[in-house]
Amino acid sequence: MPEKTAENFRAAIKLGGGTHIYNRLGIALRKQGFYKEAIIEYNLAISLDPED
């Protein structure tokens, strides 16, 4: 259920989730075929912590 997973990660981000949440959301979106959206989330994760 990647679509439900993406919803849950978005909710976690609203609560102040860190870089790992953006990364996991990117993974969920990629698995659904939403490649452009996944890249956006990966880039957000990188912008928060380039060393992670």
Contact 38, 24 (CB under 8 A): no
Question: Using DSSP, how many helices (H) and how many strands (E) does the chain show?
Answer: 3, 0
**pLDDT greater at residue 11 or residue 40:** 40
Sign of CA dihedral 38, 44, 46, 49: negative
Domain spans, the chain? 2-48
Please say if the pLDDT value at position 34 is more than 90: yes
Please say if the pLDDT value at position 19 is more than 90: no
DSSP 34: -
Contact 45, 19 (CB under 8 A): yes
Please say if the pLDDT value at position 17 is more than 80: no
